Chain A
Amino acid sequence: MTGRTGSRSRRGPTLLLAAALACAAGGCGATGPAGDGSGAVTGTVTVFAAASLTEVFTELGEAFEAANPGVEVVFGFAASSALARQITEGAPADVFASAAPEHLRQVGDEGSVSGAPVVFARNRLEIAVPPGNPGAIVSLAEFADPLRTIALCAEQVPCGAAAARVFEAAGVVAVPDTRERDVKAVLTKVTLGEVDAGLVYRTDVLAAGGKVEGIEFPQAAAAVNDYQIAALAEAPNPVAAAAFVDFVTSGRAGSVLAAAGFDLP
């Protein structure tokens, strides 16, 4: 399960104080500070999510806030590897949504994950080119051309690792001109027209709308990223964290994810 138990000791100081005052003033009985009598979710929930989840999680966050008035969802979007590092160094996050299992495992090895991670979406790579395709890119083979300007994700980032797998599957030795720190940085280079092509997720191509053109390629199936989500053990707001995880893995969120271009598990 996703960590609804043992939450009392982790309550934020403000809620504790408010509850203590309320109890003292109203002489109330057995309800604890988590307000779990009514199951209401309140406070702020801090979600660290992979860069490729920017648009879809922002939308899910708004839906979650609408369904739970009194909750505010705050996001930190960056490469999953960067987020994992921040969490292990003590960043106060409630939930971590990673674009690859190894980063969540990295956090879990430190004992920072509460409950088992859940796969909630899958993503695959797609070639992104500026409108008009100035580099005349047709497939992955053009990525081996040193004359073309190519942007790829850095290898330690999930999209970079996936890119390495698809190039291996295609038997292509890519010659990138830059290795960016996350997938959105690659996408930005493409939308600015600074590169002829970049390898990003299918969801990024969809999110960018008319600013890039997408070219699919068959080897994308060789590297499907499993996105995992989990509440964190040190979460300042574990009740809301668990509720958000449940929300993201629900059917309603699933249709939002599917509309954004993610595959569902």
Chain B
Amino acid sequence: MLPALCGLAFLLIPLLGLVARTPWTSVPGRLFSAEVGQALRLSLVCASAATVLCLVFGIPLAWLLARSGLPGRGLVRALVTVPLVLPPVVGGVALLLALGRRGFVGRYLHEWFGVSLPFTTAGVIVAEAFVAMPFLVISVEGALRAADPRFEEAAATLGAGRWYAFRRVTLPSVAPGLVAGAVLCWARALGEFGATITFAGNFPGRTTTMPLAVYLALESDPDAAIVLSLVLLLVSVAVLVALRERWMVTR
């Protein structure tokens, strides 16, 4: 009992400390300032876009790992999990060396298409997707493996095409795992700092997400940093409350 309470206290006390130190009188003014609005809007947009990117590429990848019988799947799964354990700044450096203007892929993007990802909002989305995708892939893969493939076989014998069966049979059966993965993915993307600041840089309105804004405000204006932190905390809590039990359930 006591270790459980200690664990709970360990997680709650810093959050309570944040709430306790908030300069409540200046909150309304700061909350509607351009800086906070910009950073919050950018954070929400980028996290959501990154989650969409993860869904589009992550679900097929999870399918590949769970159902395809591909040889060397174990290796692929291990590689997919790497961004999960990689320190985010290292992820940012890796992205820069691969997709930067002089990167081994990025240089062709730049020379042939004039596309440059660093220092753009697209760069933020790419960095966030890179660190968040493993959450989605692992969660969906787990759900796919636990789901019974006989339902799809039954659908096939009843004349359903593979895409139809996937859409109408498979996806609904893995929905809890999918939602859990997507929520974790979104939350991870929202909170990303190291990869974002290293790869996408820092510019208000374009690449300064909330975590970056907090970090920089901490040095010049700690009260602003506290208010920004509080906003992020409330947004995160709101998302979790909205999804309540469902995100905890992974079948």
Contacts and interface: CB of A to CB of B under 8 A. Distances in A.
B119 interface: yes
Contact of B102 (A81, A156, A179, A193): A193
Interface string B82-108: 000000000000001100111000000
B203 A156 contact: no
Contact of A180 (B202, B219, B222): B202
Interface in A145-187: 149, 151, 154, 156-157, 176-181
Contacts of A180: 201-202
A176 B197 CA distance: 15
A178 B216 contact: no
B215 A181 contact: yes
A156 B203 CA distance: 14
Contacts of A151: 201
A82 interface: yes
A154 B207 CA distance: 13
A254 to B, nearest CB: 30
A156 B215 contact: no
Interface residues of B, number: 20
B220 A81 contact: yes
B197 A177 contact: no
Interface size class of A (residues with CB under 8 A): 20 to 34
B177 interface: no
A193 B203 CA distance: 19
B118 interface: yes
Contacts of B147: none
B216 A154 contact: yes
Contacts of A192: 96-97, 100, 102
Contact of B216 (A181, A189, A194, A195): A181
A177 B215 contact: no
B31 interface: no
Given A156-B220, A193-B102, A178 B203 contact: yes
Contacts of A194: 96, 100-102, 118-119
Given A154-B202, A193-B101, A193-B102, A177 B119 contact: yes
Given A82-B219, A85-B218, A178 B201 contact: yes
Contact of B219 (A79, A177, A189): A79
Contacts of B201: 151, 177-180, 189
Nearest to B203: A178
B221 to A, nearest CB: 8
B22 interface: no
Contacts of A149: 101, 116, 119
Nearest to B222: A85
Contacts of A195: 119
Contacts of A181: 197, 202, 215-216
A194 B100 CA distance: 6
Q: For A151, A180, A192, A193, which residue has the most chain B Cβ atoms within 10 angstroms?
A: A192
Contacts of B220: 81, 156
Contacts of A156: 216, 219-220
11 contacts: A85-B219, A156-B220, A177-B201, A178-B201, A178-B202, A181-B216, A189-B201, A192-B96, A193-B100, A193-B101, A194-B102
Interface of A: 79, 81-82, 84-85, 149, 151, 154, 156-157, 176-181, 189, 192-195
Given A84-B219, A178-B207, 4 more contacts: A179-B201, A179-B203, A181-B197, A194-B102
Minimum-distance CB pairs A-B, first 4? A178-B201, A156-B220, A81-B219, A177-B119
Interface of B: 96-97, 100-102, 116, 118-119, 197, 200-203, 207, 215-216, 218-220, 222
